[in-house]
Structure 1
Amino acid sequence: MMGSVAQLWRHPIKSHGREALEAVTLSVGQCMPLDRHWAVTHEASRFDGTGWVSCQNFMIGARTPGLAGLWARVDEEARRVTLTHRDLGELTFAPDDPAEAARFLDWIAPLCPENRARPSAVVSVQGRGMTDSDFPSISVMNLSSHRAVAQKLGRDIEPERWRGNIWLDGLGPWEEFEWIGKTIRIGSASLHVRKRITRCLHTAANPITGKRDTATLDALEVGWGHCDFGVYCEVIDGGDIRLGDKSEVL
């Protein structure tokens, strides 16, 4: 079945806000540009700056649900990020500037539970984003699967909970799980579908309020016997993707 691109998102600072896009250019073996480019370490982090490490070394929504209420905009030329939150207001800063990063850490501190390790630094790794996968990935989501979860819950929920990069519509529910090991073309880019995405408690948090209000994991487990949603893909042919572009399995 052929689908089409309904939404495009990137998350400039891992777990700290999302930004809607109209178009993106993907490169072979790379994450979406500026997706999870930065991450926030905490006091117990073992990140040493030399390469990818697991998400447990960073401030994440599974442990700090208030982060789900953040939205982001990036000025790519100036390398500055603007974050907004309904309780904290708005902050614009340069994550690569230590002084401005410290200002951000002070600003975000009220969202962090007292019983958790505190945020300590804003970091990045040359050449890749800090995706949860140990390879530079693009996450592809299916709106039909999202609607199936909402139906199981008995109410609408926000797609932003799943933190996907590319959202496709016009497919059958859970059709994306049949693509594992296959190649899909979206716009002029080709992606190899590598694995399903196992979800965490971040999905339970409301992207407006930052409060946990929905048993998303329970709905997945009761409805389908797993806690997976979406697929991780690797870009094997670079190209442009725009809203409305077609997708197909090759």
Structure 2
Amino acid sequence: MTGHVAALYRHPIKGFTPEQLAHVDVAPGQGLPFDRLWAVENGPSGFDPAAPAFVPKQKFTVLMSIPRVAAARTHYEDDTGLLHAQAEGMPVFSGRLVEEAGRQAFAAWLSKLLPDDDLRGPLRVVTAPGAHRFTDHPQGQVSVVNLASVRDLSQKMGVELDPLRFRANLYVEGWEPWVENEWTGRPMMLGWARAEVFKPIVRCAATHVHPTTAERDLDVVKALFDNYGHMFCGIYLKVTAGGRISRGDAVTTPDAAPVETPEWA
């Protein structure tokens, strides 16, 4: 089944503003460059940059626990290492996340934006050298959302869901609704890259937060379960061969091989 890349995003800081891309180059066993490269600890998380390992998202400032995170508008500059952030009623922030002083300054700025009741301890921006990314699943390198599935859920809920609620890397047009839930283990072409479907994405309360207003306004997880009997929306991929992915590129997964009928049947 063939679709195409309708939109392509990275999220340099886990939980914060998606940044739209025209194209991206991916490598085997890795996610998108600069995607979830940093995270903000909400009190000590146990993350060790010298021995980076998966840490549950609840340890960080993420939308499922702190909707106000969506009030910050962030933008990262690859070439300078500068992060820019703004929010209503706050001074504009600019600092280099590649430097400890810049990370501390952003944490200080953020601590004035987020409600005290939501903070479990000092905020700290963390990162690690190499390929480590702060994904929601340790093997969820690239996330893909089928826009037809989002529209089908919107129709069932009687609202127009912003696909950015689902914080995917790729948004795909051209697939039938919900077919992606049956593709675990299937190979896939993403532009010039190759991947394998790892598993469907189980959704959490982060999807309840409107990406513009920063308010919890819809129970998307309940709507998924009530209408479909599952809490999936999107799939995780593992990159198996590197290449460039661009907006408009084909996203193709082979049809399942037909089951041969035995001669004796």
Shift of 1:85: 3.3
Q: 1:215 to 1:129 in 2, by over 3 A?
A: same
Task: Tell me how far apart the structure 2 counterparts of residues 238 and 143 of structure 1 sit (CA, whole Å).
Answer: 24
Moved more, 15-24 or 113-122: 113-122
1:184 equivalent in alignment to 2:188: yes
Task: Tell me how far apart the structure 2 counterparts of residues 136 and 238 of structure 1 sit (CA, whole Å).
Answer: 16
Q: 2:14 is paired with a residue of what secondary structure?
A: coil
Letter of the 2:22 partner, please give it.
E
Q: Runs ≥4 in structure 1, deviation > 6 angstroms?
A: none
The percentage of counterpart residues that share the same residue type is 33
1:162 maps to what in 2? 166
Q: 1:34 is paired with a residue of what secondary structure?
A: coil
1:216 aligned residue (203, 220, 223): 220
Matches of residues 194-205 of structure 1 in structure 2 within 5 Å? Answer: 194-205=198-209
Task: Tell me how far apart the structure 2 counterparts of residues 19 and 226 of structure 1 sit (CA, whole Å).
Answer: 29
1:120 maps to what in 2? 123
1:14 maps to what in 2? 14
2:52 maps to what in 1? 51
Q: 1:115 is paired with a residue of what secondary structure?
A: helix
Q: 1:242 to 1:56 in 2, by over 3 A?
A: same
Compute the TM-score of the two structures, normalised by the length of structure 2: 0.89
Matches of residues 29-44 of structure 1 in structure 2 within 5 Å? Answer: 29-44=29-44
Task: Tell me how far apart the structure 1 counterparts of residues 87 and 22 of structure 2 sit (CA, whole Å).
Answer: 22
Letter of the 2:103 partner, please give it.
A
Task: Tell me how far apart the structure 2 counterparts of residues 15 and 125 of structure 1 sit (CA, whole Å).
Answer: 17
Deviations 1:131-162 (A, max 9, x none): 11112510011000110111111111211110
1:97 equivalent in alignment to 2:86: no
Shift of 1:18: 1.2
Task: Tell me how far apart the structure 2 counterparts of residues 222 and 35 of structure 1 sit (CA, whole Å).
Answer: 32
Deviations 1:56-96 (A, max 9, x none): 22221111011123333221111122234345464222123
2:241 aligned residue (237, 242, 250): 237
Structure with the largest fraction of strand: 1
Task: Tell me how far apart the structure 1 counterparts of residues 117 and 208 of structure 2 sit (CA, whole Å).
Answer: 20
Deviations 1:116-142 (A, max 9, x none): 314521111222211111125100110
Q: 1:70 to 1:146 in 2, by over 3 A?
A: farther
2:24 maps to what in 1? 24
Q: 2:33 is paired with a residue of what secondary structure?
A: coil
CA RMSD of aligned residues (A): 1.6
Task: Tell me how far apart the structure 1 counterparts of residues 89 and 232 of structure 2 sit (CA, whole Å).
Answer: 31
Which ranges in structure 1 are unaligned for 5 or more consecutive residues? none
Moved more, 141-150 or 63-72: 63-72
Task: Tell me how far apart the structure 2 counterparts of residues 213 and 102 of structure 1 sit (CA, whole Å).
Answer: 32
Q: Is the CA contact 2:93–2:106 (under 8 Å) kept in the aligned structure 1?
A: yes
1:248 maps to what in 2? 252
Moved more, 234-243 or 69-78: 69-78
Q: Is the CA contact 2:43–2:59 (under 8 Å) kept in the aligned structure 1?
A: no
Q: 1:145 to 1:102 in 2, by over 3 A?
A: same
Shift of 1:206: 0.8
Q: Is the CA contact 2:157–2:223 (under 8 Å) kept in the aligned structure 1?
A: yes
1:60 aligned residue (54, 59, 62): 62
Q: How many residues align?
A: 250
